[in-house]
Every structure is written in C-alpha cells, then in structure tokens.
Homo-oligomer: A and B are copies of this chain.
Amino acid sequence: MTLDSETKAVELPEHHGDELRLWLRLLTCTTLIEGEVRSRLRERFDVTLPRFDLMAQLDKVPEGMTLSDVSKRMMVSNGNVTGLVERLVESGHLDRRTSEVDRRVQVIRLTKAGRAEFRKMAAEHELWIADIFGDLTPKDVRELMRLLAKTKASAQKSARSRGG
C-alpha cells in the first residue's frame, strides 16, 4: 500500500497549483497598487506613471545616466526609453547630452525644473504608498521584504538557467 502510493506519487505529474496561485496573487497586488498610483498621479499632477518612474531613476543619480542604464533599471526595452526621454526633454523635465567620450552615448539628467517637480510629486507619492500598505505591521513589512528578496533571487536564477 505504502509502496503503491509512493510509486503513484512519482509517476503522477507534480502539483504546482500553489505556486500558480501565488503568482496570480502577486500579480493582482501589483496591478491593484499600480493602478491606484497611476490614477493618483494623473489626478493630482497630470503625469503618467512611466514618466514618474523615469524621473525617479534620474533623481537618484544627479550626474545623469545613459539611456541603456535607464533601460536596464526600469526593465523596459531600449526603444521604449528613447520615446519616453524624447517627450520628457520636449517638456523641459530632462536634459540630454551626447557623451564626449563615446558619441553613441546619450547622458540624460533632470533639469532644475524637472527635479523640483519630481521632488514635489515624490513626497506625496511616498505618503500614498504608506497609506496603501498601511494595514501591514512593521513585522509584516520586514517579512515581505525578505520573502520577495528570495522570490526575486529565485526568478533570476530561473531566467538565467533558461537564457544561458
């Protein structure tokens, strides 16, 4: 009997429903929060989420970054960044210069106005996020951070093992 059921268990395809449900829940959470942030950004500052995200990347590095850097950090395609940057330069939020060392490279930075506007938005944004996560205890937050770090590492490992 015991042998039988063990044999069976090996032959049957494994159950992966839990992981799938976890993934769907993770996705739901993110979509929900992203939608909320998106609509607040639009209502309050008439800015789109991708623009805000791009400015957030640049705010962290005053001396500027290349388009490739931005692309990697935001995990979006190169062509995507090109278009976003074009519109943000147009609207005066970004400053763009060709590198003198390597003329393929474009270095972008926040303009003074762009930085001021971003800081204003970022301050409120932080409060929104705090409110959205408001029912989590500090312990919940720590625990989630830990588990998501583990998840990220696992996903990266899986992606690497497939890619090369």
Task: Taking A20-B130, A143-B143 as given, write out 19 further A-B residue pairs in contact, using a Cβ cutoff of 8 Å, ordered by the A residue number.
Answer: A16-B127, A17-B126, A18-B141, A19-B133, A20-B126, A22-B141, A26-B29, A28-B75, A33-B155, A36-B158, A36-B162, A131-B158, A132-B158, A134-B157, A135-B153, A136-B151, A136-B154, A140-B150, A144-B151
A132 touches B154 (CB 8 A): yes
Across-interface contacts of A153 in B (CB, < 8 A): 135
Given the known interface contacts A31-B75, A145-B22, A148-B29, the answer about A159 and B36 at a Cβ–Cβ threshold of 8 Å is: yes
Complex formed: what's the CA distance from A122 to B79 in Å? Answer: 30
CB-contact partner of A132 in B17, B149, B155, under 8 A: B155
The residue in chain B whose Cβ has the minimal distance to the Cβ of A128 is: B158
Chain A interfacial residues counted at CB < 8 A? 54
B147 near A144: Cβ-Cβ < 8 Å? yes
Residue contacts A-B, CB under 8 angstroms, 9 given: A16-B130, A18-B138, A19-B141, A22-B141, A26-B148, A27-B34, A29-B148, A32-B155, A134-B157
Write the nearest CB–CB distance from A127 to chain B, whole angstroms. Answer: 7
Known contacts A21-B145, A30-B30, A127-B16: A135-B150 contact under CB 8 Å: yes
Interface residues of A in 1-22 (CB under 8 A from B): 14, 16-22
Q: Bound state CA distance, A14 and B36, in angstroms? A: 22
In the bound assembly, the distance between CA atoms of A129 and B153 in angstroms comes to 14
Distance in angstroms between the alpha carbons of A27 and B36 in the assembled complex:
13
| Chain B residues whose C-beta falls within 8 Å of the C-beta of A16 in the assembled complex | 126-127, 129-130
A23 contacts chain B at the CB level, 8 A cutoff: yes
